[in-house]
Amino acid sequence: MTTSQAAPVLRMSDVTRLYATKQGGLHVLAGVSLEVCQGEFVTIIGPSGSGKSTLLNIAAGIEEPNTGQVALFGADGAPLAKRLGQVAYMPQRDLLLPWRTALDNATLGLELQSVSRAQARQRATPLLDTFGLSGFATELPQNLSGGMRQRVAFLRTVLAGKGLMLLDEPFGALDALTRADMHAWLLSLWQGLGRTALMVTHDVEEALLLSHKVYLLTASPGRVRHVLPVPLPWPRTPAMVATPEFVQLKANLLHYLRTPAMAL
Ligand SMILES: Nc1ncnc2c1ncn2[C@@H]1O[C@H](COP(=O)(O)OP(=O)(O)OP(=O)(O)O)[C@@H](O)[C@H]1O
Ligand SMILES: [Mg+2]
């Protein structure tokens, strides 16, 4: 998979973010630095309110940091002039368009890239089954469960085909079995295509199974508390969660999550 020479796709250096509130300034991110390289799957774990979604918004170019630098890099290794529109972003809320069917919501990213609707549907249709959506292609979002809506949004993000995918709790609303199916599917996609991702999750096993490295954020204001490399071999399979190496990594990560930052 990746090597230490892999080129960076996203680099954040010392990023801070403050929001103006009636009570004064709300300090959300306090000097966060992180790097995602070509072909890497990187995960962020942190308490609610630690600024994880804010961090993805900044990476996507929807928001700017108050201080610090953020850069996306193209395939040639040169920094891109702007971030907006350069990544595939699955926000925490599914943001499906209520008037478009499941299939036509899934194809939205392709259509925004000027792919015709007919062609976009042709590319999306074979994936409906894998995403647990066959039989629901012509349904409107209001007729889908929360988990289904999340899978439509995930399919839209995967189909958008950008080099970097930003995923904000993509499996959060899925039941355990569907979640395990999606992990198995995502691992096979990853190992086949070598895509790059930055994902937010609260699920420790999911983070370890899918990732090359895990960034742990402190409670608000978010700072990087620890970066845990995941030296499990590739290709990965869901069965690895039962191996002694995995169990040890999980114990390490849980230790960091359960110990107050001051005590470490
Ligand atoms: N546009 C905004 N204006 C003011 N405050 C905001 C804004 N966006 C986010 N916040 C605040 O910033 C803090 C961090 O929010 P953020 O959504 O990034 O956290 P999070 O780590 O993703 O949390 P969760 O795990 O619950 O999704 C929260 O206190 C939130 O209320
Ligand atoms: Mg969030």
Per-residue pLDDT 10s for the chain (264 aa) are 444 568 999 999 999 999 998 888 899 999 999 999 999 999 999 999 999 999 999 999 999 999 999 999 998 889 999 998 899 999 988 789 999 999 999 999 899 888 999 999 999 999 998 888 999 999 999 999 888 898 899 899 989 878 899 999 998 878 888 888 888 878 877 776 668 999 999 999 999 999 999 999 999 999 999 999 999 998 899 899 999 999 999 999 999 888 876 655
- pLDDT score recorded for residue 192: 66
Q: Is residue 34 part of a domain?
A: yes
Q: Is residue 145 part of a domain?
A: no
**Considering only CA atoms, which residue is closest to atom 24 of ligand 1?**
48
Residues 158 and 255: their CA atoms lie apart, in Å, by: 33
CB of residue 47 inside a 6 A radius of ligand 1? no
The pTM (predicted TM-score) of the whole model is 0.92
> Pairing state of beta strands 67-72 and 8-21?
antiparallel
**Considering only CA atoms, which residue is closest to atom 1 of ligand 1?**
19
CATH code of residue 66: 3.40.50.300
CB of residue 48 inside a 6 A radius of ligand 1? yes
- pLDDT score recorded for residue 262: 64
Q: Which residues span the domain enclosing 226?
A: 8-80+199-263
Q: How many domains does the chain fold into? A: 1
CB of residue 54 inside a 6 A radius of ligand 1? yes
Q: Is residue 116 part of a domain?
A: no
Residues 28 and 14: their CA atoms lie apart, in Å, by: 13
Contacts of 216 (CB under 8 A, 6+ apart): 45, 46, 224, 225, 226, 227, 228, 253, 256, 257
CB of residue 23 inside a 6 A radius of ligand 1? no
Q: Is residue 234 part of a domain?
A: yes
Contacts of 66 (CB under 8 A, 6+ apart): 16, 17, 18
- Paired tokens of 12: 């954040």
Q: Is residue 127 part of a domain?
A: no
- pLDDT score recorded for residue 68: 98
Q: Is residue 187 part of a domain?
A: no
Q: Is residue 57 part of a domain?
A: yes
Q: Is residue 88 part of a domain?
A: no
- CA of residue 48 to ligand 2 center, whole Å: 7
| C-alpha dist (Å) from residue 123 to 94, 150, 159 | 21, 19, 8
